[in-house]
Amino acid sequence: MQQIRSQVTERDGLFELEAGSDVLDSPRYNHDMAPTKVRERTWNKWHITALWVGMAICVPTYTLGGVLTAYFGLSVGEALLAILFANVIVLIPLTLNAFPGTKYGIPFPVLLRSSFGILGSNVPCLIRALVACGWFGIQTMFGGLAIHLFLGSVFEGWKSLGGTGEVIGFMVFWALNLWVVIRGAESIKWLETLSAPLLVAVGIGLLVWAMPNVSMTELLAIPPKRPEGASVVSYFAAGLTAMVGFWATLSLNIPDFSRYAKSQKDQIVGQIIGLPLTMFLFASLGVIMTAASVKLVGVTVSDPVTLIGHIQSPVWVAVAMALIIIATLSTNTAANIVSPTNDFQNIAPKVVNRTKAVLLTGLVGLVLMAHELLKKLGLIVSDVSLETVYSNWLLGYSSLLGPIAGIMVVDYFLIKKQQLDLAGLYRDDVYPAWNWAGFVAFGVPVVLTLLSLGSDAFSWFYSYGWFTGSALGGIIYYGLCVMRAQPSGVKSAV
């Protein structure tokens, strides 16, 4: 006989929900969004480390040093320091927002129901999902190019397809990504664990290939592209904000992964080991490879796919492209599909299951890349480049997500004091439908950030957008909640 009321039990600091009809029949619940059982939380610190190695080693990371030197006026040494510092900083919201995921086994959209409301959570979820779909499309473009070059190294006739071959590669890689995520979390864990050592080996191999052709002393001595005598502080801070924005998205939806962690220690240690050093070393590799590319292939090449495509040996091109395909697949599935899959389910869990949400994510990513695909097919002519989209819109848009991170941390640690009504997050009678404190705390920093774009006096507010947004969002949210008689509608501890 099915129990009527849900029961929550605790084992070694991890909470588990035995769902009754009050939750099972709720329109806010489905099996994929349900809290993980303790027995399903199988990811140890090395799985979490492998997750971050798999996500951090990708084409965009490789190009970060070039982005900071070309667009932010930093020297090579300053750029690499900005990348290292940014990833140490972003560890703070990453580990803090991972806590409720590990403790309660809940994904990101369900956690947001506490701070934005049961229905209101859909707004920040969809904002996050759009960023992820944009990144999904861009990474799939890189993966499709790698497949095209791989097939061109194996079948001579394939090269003649040109842009059409790249589009075919895009669609093959697109389908492969969706297939992995549809298979579930264990499939992602297996992929990340397998790919991490391979990706480290690729990095070492590229470094051995490049080092005889570059002087590190000369590389670090290259002057920065900023006005002579200009203070480094403002340029460095702007670059730092952009690099924090690189993983600002994951600092929100990290509960999507930490819900599978064995313990808080595992998620903390795994993230510390896996993220900052991997990002720093692979970005450094990108700087070295780009500098060495002139001697290696005769022209300056800033991304590894194109660089390896210049190698004359078909065998080495095929091997290298196969590994890059794995690298991009491991990044894309975890960083860019899992979150929107959960986010889209949150809209109507009884209607949209994981498979439908994955397909919707794939469709949105395909639409966002339609312009680039049509260019490759020769159907349209345009000067808008993929690099422009990557360097400007996505990094800038990600920095606007800072307030959500601040609100989440303040809500869980200061307002709710790490106590959530687990069953109540899946019903309509505990938390409000719309928590306007969350929306005010999110809206004010975003509006101020956008207004600062037109003001020289307040341009710093935009330049440091993630920091100003997360701090102001958290402060406003705390103040509004304290002013209310009962914080955010919580009725019980568990």
* Location of structure tokens 């004091």: 417
- The predicted pLDDT at position 487 comes to 46
User: Would you place residue 494 in the very low, low, confident or very high pLDDT band (cuts 50, 70, 90)?
Assistant: very low
375 with 382: CB under 8 angstroms? yes
Report the range of poorest mean pLDDT among 226-230, 306-310, 367-371, 467-471: 306-310
- The Cα–Cα gap between 343 and 364 comes to 13
Maximum distance among all Cα pairs of the chain, rounded to whole angstroms: 77
Q: Which amino acid is at 201?
A: A
The CATH architecture assigned to 42-392 reads Orthogonal Bundle (1.10)
134: pLDDT strictly greater than 90: no
Output DSSP code: residue 402. Answer: H
- The predicted pLDDT at position 200 comes to 83
- The Cα–Cα gap between 71 and 225 comes to 8
276: pLDDT strictly greater than 70: yes
Beta bridge partners of 484: none
| Cβ-Cβ contacts under 8 Å for 416 (sequence gap 6 or more) | 114, 487, 488, 490
- The predicted pLDDT at position 492 comes to 42
- The predicted pLDDT at position 398 comes to 62
The torsion angles phi and psi of 206, rounded to 5 degrees, stand at -65, -40
- The predicted pLDDT at position 346 comes to 97
Tell me: the pLDDT tens digits for 162-205?
889 999 999 999 999 999 999 888 888 888 888 888 888 878 88
- The predicted pLDDT at position 97 comes to 97
The torsion angles phi and psi of 16, rounded to 5 degrees, stand at -135, 140
pLDDT winner (highest mean) among 246-255, 277-286, 462-471, 473-482: 473-482
- The predicted pLDDT at position 459 comes to 74
Higher per-residue pLDDT: 43 or 65: 43
- The predicted pLDDT at position 14 comes to 96
Whether this model's pTM surpasses 0.95: no
The stretches of 9-157 forming alpha helices (DSSP H) are 21-24, 45-56, 59-71, 76-104, 108-116, 122-154
- The predicted pLDDT at position 38 comes to 95
- The predicted pLDDT at position 151 comes to 92
User: Would you place residue 394 in the very low, low, confident or very high pLDDT band (cuts 50, 70, 90)?
Assistant: low
* Mean pLDDT within 434-438: 97
385: pLDDT strictly greater than 80: no
- The predicted pLDDT at position 386 comes to 62
Q: For the chain, what percent of residues have pLDDT higher than 70? A: 94
- The Cα–Cα gap between 59 and 329 comes to 11
- Helix (H), strand (E) at residue 7: strand 7-11
- The predicted pLDDT at position 23 comes to 95
Tell me: the pLDDT tens digits for 61-113?
888 888 888 778 888 889 999 999 999 999 999 999 999 999 999 999 999 99
- The Cα–Cα gap between 317 and 340 comes to 33
Q: Which of 248, 250, 188, 200 is nearest to 43 (CA)?
A: 188
- The predicted pLDDT at position 479 comes to 96
The chain-wide mean pLDDT, for the chain, equals 88
Tell me: the pLDDT tens digits for 419-434?
999 999 999 999 999 9
- The Cα–Cα gap between 391 and 138 comes to 11
User: Would you place residue 297 in the very low, low, confident or very high pLDDT band (cuts 50, 70, 90)?
Assistant: confident
- The predicted pLDDT at position 493 comes to 40
143 with 325: CB under 8 angstroms? yes
Higher per-residue pLDDT: 269 or 213: 269
pLDDT winner (highest mean) among 164-178, 203-217, 373-387, 463-477: 164-178
Higher per-residue pLDDT: 486 or 449: 449
* Mean pLDDT within 337-344: 94
- The Cα–Cα gap between 367 and 352 comes to 20
User: Would you place residue 318 in the very low, low, confident or very high pLDDT band (cuts 50, 70, 90)?
Assistant: confident
Q: Which two tokens stand for residue 469?
A: 């947004």
Q: For the chain, what percent of residues have pLDDT higher than 90? A: 50
- The Cα–Cα gap between 325 and 484 comes to 52
Q: Which amino acid is at 213?
A: N
Q: Is 307 left (phi over 0), alpha (psi -120 to 50) or beta?
A: alpha
